[in-house]
Chains A and B, each alone.
Chain A
Amino acid sequence: MSVGAAKGGSGASINGIDAIRAGSPEALAALYREYGSALHRLAYRLTGTREDAEDVVHDVFVGLPEALGRYEEWGSFAGWLKRVTARVALMRLRTRTRRREVALDATLATADRPAAVEHVTLQTAIDELPDRLRCVLVLKEVEGYSHAEVGELLGISAGASRVRLNRAMRLLRKRMEDGR
């Protein structure tokens, strides 16, 4: 599938989107190769487990051909895709009791930075945050959504998003200070 600037934004081309809508497995695979990692990363940060993250990405791509019928081909396709993924991940979070998984070896499988130990501490601290706080932290600070967008995704007000982010930051700072 060709990849380039879509109408009004960057991301998959109109031809590629049309092909996915038509049910082309090749176009879907091309889209997965382009966005799969980023969406998995987002899902992992929101759900906190690899299994859940993979299930989220699986569900997103399986449902995508039909969901694209509602995509208006305006604005950033990547942004739309991330919002869909975030929604699916949040739905998953709501419907399960979160299994704690602090698999440091898996977390660091791709990490070969010199500050890896600090990353472990930060990742552990994030993992230990309550879901409601971690979601706001990830969406705002990592994914760069505005509080209004975070509020829309989580079904809360922008003010509540600010409050949760504040609490998450405080908890995170405290846990990191305690852990070092």
Chain B
Amino acid sequence: MTWKDELRTLPAPEPSGELLRRILASRAAGVRVVLPGVGSRVWSHQFVRYAAGVVLVGSVATFSAIRIRRSEERAAKTAWEARIPLMPAELFAQEPGGRLVKGSYPAVRDLEPSSLEPGKWVYRKKVMIDGILTDTATTDTVRIESTTFDARPALRIASTWASRAYVGLDTLIVSRIDLRPLRRWCCGHRTSREFRFADRDVGPLFLSQPAPGYAGTRVNPEMSLSVGFVNFLHLKPVLQALPLRDRWEGSLYLSPLGPYDPFPVDVRVVGHDRQTVPAGTFECWRLQLTLPANRRALTVWISRGEQRVVRIRQEVSDGAIEEVLVAREATPPTP
């Protein structure tokens, strides 16, 4: 007999013989006690039925309202995107109230141009909330192709992020020699605005160097480094062109659209491990990308051999958002 069984057979005293007499005497004397309400099951079932009905009607009404609102928002968003008013100051919340922040490590000056080889990499977003994993329909496809621009050898880096309702296009032409941006078409829904960089001092893949006397960039401390930012900042090709090694660290100052204050991101190699994703199993560097403004971090795994982004993980309050490599395709070099 377990002690739980013992618990159920635990003896309890019997009521005194006087109790029934007391009860009847109280009743006879006109004593009345209002007992707390305990609904019978009939009432409970009726209540459940009524409640279910109310919930159903409410759900239908709410769902309809949300659909109407979403379609309105989508229309407004499409209009907003069609105008493409993206300005880095707004994008990075560089409003006057923001704190001045700088990178925590030495600024990265050089990237390795030869590490960018033609090919195609497809990533899929996964969302894990409360331990439930959801494969979303959102993908990001990065395609690198050899091309020429003004008769100079160049690379076309095209990033397409797509969900059921949205397709974002971002095409960047960089010099094959030093990876400096030459032209960018960014970043609307099926349409893009052109940005020219010929007369601007923008370093390889938008890396810039803090000028002498640079006091920092005003960044909203509430912002987070997200998977979307990695795509917008073209960080995937940047990361695969970094001179990574154990305990490597450096700060990136990014000017993705032009002569605005550079946006600082700290990058640090924090370890290496094996990652298995739909595209295969890879021995990886584990990098931490951190916003100096608030130390919010993003983890990125990069394959140690060909140095490609394999997985990106963003921790959120009740779970995580990931982008994982699901397919890769090498393009034969142009003869």
15 additional contacts, CB 8 Å, given A63-B33, A66-B32, A142-B8?
Answer: A25-B24, A25-B27, A36-B15, A37-B14, A62-B33, A70-B39, A72-B43, A74-B41, A80-B38, A84-B36, A107-B11, A108-B11, A115-B1, A123-B11, A126-B10
Tell me whether B27 and A28 are in contact (CB under 8 A). yes
A66 to B11, CA, bound (A): 32
- Cα–Cα, bound, A33→B40 (Å): 23
Interface residues of A (CB under 8 A from B): 23, 25, 28-29, 32-33, 36-37, 40-41, 44-45, 50, 53-54, 57-67, 70-75, 80, 83-84, 87-88, 91, 106-111, 113, 115, 118-119, 122-123, 126, 137, 141-142, 176
**A25 to chain B: which residues have CB within 8 Å?**
24, 27-28
**CA A37 to CA B13, docked complex, whole Å:** 9
With a cutoff of 8 Å between Cβ atoms, the chain B residues found around residue A72 in the complex are: 40-43
* Assembly CA distance A53 to B40 (angstroms): 24
- CB <8 Å contact, A83 and B19: no
Known: A25-B24, A32-B23. A62 touches B32 (CB 8 A): yes
Assess whether B37 is interfacial by the CB under 8 Å rule.
yes
Known: A25-B28, A57-B15. A32 touches B33 (CB 8 A): no
Asked if B91 is at the interface of the complex by the 8 Å CB criterion, the answer is: no
Q: How far is A72 from B7 in the complex, measured between Cα atoms in Å?
A: 33
Q: A28-B23, A44-B13, A61-B23 are in contact. Are A122 and B40 (CB under 8 A)?
A: no
Q: Name B20's contact: one of A23, A36, A67, A141 (CB within 8 Å).
A: A36
- 10 nearest CB pairs, A to B: A63-B33, A72-B40, A111-B11, A72-B42, A75-B41, A63-B35, A74-B42, A40-B15, A67-B35, A41-B12
Number of interface residues of B (CB under 8 A): 34
**CB within 8 A of B11: which of A73, A110, A137?**
A110
Closest Cβ–Cβ distance, residue A110 to chain B (whole Å): 5
B contact residues vs A (CB 8 Å cutoff) = 1, 3-4, 6-8, 10-16, 19-20, 22-24, 26-28, 31-43
When distances are taken between beta carbons in the complex, the residues of chain A under 8 Å from B8 are 141-142
Task: Kindly state the separation between the CA atoms of A44 and B122 in the bound complex, as whole angstroms.
Answer: 67
Q: What residue of chain A has the Cβ atom nearest to residue B41's Cβ?
A: A75
A47 to chain B, nearest CB (A): 11
Q: How far is the CA of A69 from the CA of B27 in the complex (A)?
A: 16
Q: Could you list 12 examples of A-B contacts with CB < 8 Å? A: A29-B24, A44-B12, A45-B12, A58-B23, A60-B33, A62-B31, A72-B40, A74-B40, A74-B41, A74-B42, A87-B38, A110-B11
CB contact between B3 and one of A58, A111, A122 (< 8 Å): that residue: A122
Cβ-defined contact, B3 with A176, below 8 A: yes
Nearest CB in chain B to that of A137: its residue: B7
Asked if A50 and B35 sit within 8 Å, CB to CB, the answer is no
Q: With A and B bound together, what is the CA distance between A71 and B27 in angstroms?
A: 20
Residues of chain B within 8 A of A109, CB atoms compared: 13-14
